[in-house]
Amino acid sequence: MNSHIIKIAILDMYNGEPNQGMRCIIDILNRFNHIVRFKIFDIRGKSEFPEIKNYDIYISSGGPGNPLEGDGNWDLKYYAFIDLLTAWNKEKEVKKHMLFICHSFQMACKHFGLAEITKRNDTSFGVMTIHKTKDGLTDPLFEGLSDPFYAIDSRDYQVVQPKLSTFAKKGAKIISLEKIRDHVQYERAIMAVRFTDYFVGTQFHPEADPISFIANLRNTETRERIKKMKGEKKFRNMLEDLLDNEKIYRTNETLIPNFLRIAINDLIKTKKILSN
């Protein structure tokens, strides 16, 4: 690799379980293959972590299980890694950008003490309507997305009860919230947070594409579980949403590419790594 290439570390949090998330992340990164190279690190399975100085951008994936639990090894190293990146950004001129997705997002919210992580009353799985907050309306991560916009959601846990004094102290901002549900009394979950100028995370899966979701439906048990959860009509509506160019396709084509462009442009500005 030469100095003109942006190096990205993908932190794989899936613990070896079959998933579509990694395929989708790699597919998006391959759209930038003229300027980026990436390497995958198995965080939970092998406790692999990148050398911070060797990579410019970090993407931490979703994953299965309870975000409040670890094995006392990889999870503590993961939190320490976040702290090292935070310290780097405070001390160095060239910043490290990081995107936290789903499971990683929940862990980051816990680590920064921003909110409570609780188990949902039932599983959220499917096409979710997501609303921008006032701060989200101007956040460059969402540029090009409507309000509301749509994404694939897949989770048993949620980030709720924000500690607003901690948000203010750390300069963090809630930039999107769960869909409005007038018929139930549950608190709307936090769907995205701007932790710092360089760290951002989403509860939903911005990498997901219709192919990834349909792959799950090939499993008869999964398909029937979703039908039972949503009902036949909502299930069919969800399938229609998958094919709408302004919904899942739009988010897949917009959000992570925005994150990458923001990070790459910041690197160019501060380090001028693409100049001759």
pLDDT given for residue 272 in this prediction: 67
Indicate whether 1 belongs to any domain: no
Indicate whether 266 belongs to any domain: yes
Q: Out of 16-25, 207-216, 230-239, 240-249, which region has the weakest mean confidence (pLDDT)?
A: 230-239
3 state DSSP class of 237: helix
Domain count, the chain: 1
pLDDT given for residue 214 in this prediction: 78
Closest among 149, 145, 259 to 204, alpha carbons compared: 149
Burial 163-192 (b: 16+ CB within 10 A, else e): beeebeeeebbbbbbbeeeeeeeeeebbbb
d(CA 36, CA 136): 27
Q: What is the average pLDDT across 238-250?
A: 82
We report the CATH number of the domain holding residue 258 as 3.40.50.880
Give tens-digit pLDDT for 156-197. Answer: 899 999 999 999 999 999 999 997 655 555 678 999 999 999
Give tens-digit pLDDT for 197-207. Answer: 999 999 999 99
The number of beta carbons lying within 10 Å of the beta carbon of residue 23 is 14
Q: Domain span at residue 261?
A: 6-271
Give tens-digit pLDDT for 125-138. Answer: 778 899 999 999 99
Indicate whether 267 belongs to any domain: yes
Give tens-digit pLDDT for 32-49. Answer: 999 999 999 999 999 999
Indicate whether 218 belongs to any domain: yes
Give tens-digit pLDDT for 67-116. Answer: 999 999 999 999 999 999 999 999 999 999 999 999 999 999 999 999 99
Indicate whether 122 belongs to any domain: yes
Indicate whether 15 belongs to any domain: yes
pLDDT given for residue 183 in this prediction: 52
pLDDT given for residue 276 in this prediction: 44
Beta strands in the chain (DSSP E): 6-12, 36-42, 57-60, 97-101, 116-132, 149-160, 173-177, 190-194, 199-202
Indicate whether 276 belongs to any domain: no
Whether 273 has a pLDDT exceeding 90, the answer reads no
pLDDT given for residue 231 in this prediction: 73
Computed from CA positions of residues 120, 162, 116, 102, in that sequence, does the dihedral angle turn out positive or negative? positive
Indicate whether 138 belongs to any domain: yes
